[in-house]
């Protein structure tokens, strides 16, 4: 089953003070390091205009728990997290339609 993780993030004032070119440079290098081979996909959503708890939501998908975990470890070593540019607010792991997979895997009880 594919693991989907919703990573709620809050941008720090130090990040927001950087000009956009510097933000793009830092994030580009960091994400290339954390997600180098495409085994883990990543999408970003801006949330700051709609919510005060998290400024951004990263949606991470992987078919391998190891690949996901290693990507997060690499991400933690980048300036985005290690320098405090972003704070992880919450991590929400999920399985899309997990109940359907569960139901399909059930063996009917004998009558």
Residue 111 covered by a domain: no
> 55 is in which domain, residue-wise?
3-105
Residue 26 covered by a domain: yes
Is residue 1 pLDDT above 90, yes or no?
no
| Mean pLDDT, residues 49-76 taken together | 96
Residue 38 covered by a domain: yes
Residue 3 CA: distances (Å) to CA of 13, 21, 70, 77, 97: 31, 32, 14, 22, 11
Is residue 17 pLDDT above 80, yes or no?
yes
Q: Average the pLDDT over each of 21-30, 41-50, 95-104 and give the range with the smallest value.
A: 95-104
Q: What are the φ/ψ torsions at residue 106 (nearest 5 degrees)? A: -75, 135
What was the pLDDT predicted at 87? 97
| Mean pLDDT, residues 59-69 taken together | 96
DSSP letter for each residue of 11-51: E-HHHHHS-HHHHHHHHHHHHHHHS-SSSEEEEEEE-TTT-
Is residue 111 pLDDT above 80, yes or no?
no
* Rounded Cα distance, 30 and 33, in Å: 5
Which sign, positive or negative, has the C-alpha torsion 50, 88, 59, 31? positive
Average predicted confidence (pLDDT) for the chain: 95
What was the pLDDT predicted at 72? 97
What was the pLDDT predicted at 9? 98
Residue 85 covered by a domain: yes
What was the pLDDT predicted at 107? 74
Residue 98 covered by a domain: yes
CATH of the domain at 8: 3.30.70.1030
Is residue 110 pLDDT above 90, yes or no?
no
């Amino acid at each position: 089953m594919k693991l989907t993780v919703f990573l709620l993030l809050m941008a720090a004032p130090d990040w927001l003070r950087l000009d956009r070119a510097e933000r793009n440079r830092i994030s580009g290098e960091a994400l290339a390091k954390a997600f180098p081979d495409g085994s883990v996909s990543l999408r970003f959503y801006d949330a700051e205009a709609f919510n005060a708890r998290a400024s951004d939501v990263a949606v991470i998908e992987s078919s391998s728990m190891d690949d996901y975990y290693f990507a997060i470890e690499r991400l933690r070593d980048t300036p985005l997290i290690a320098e405090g540019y972003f704070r992880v607010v919450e991590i929400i792991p999920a399985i899309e339609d997990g109940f359907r997979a569960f139901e399909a895997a059930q063996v009917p009880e004998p009558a």
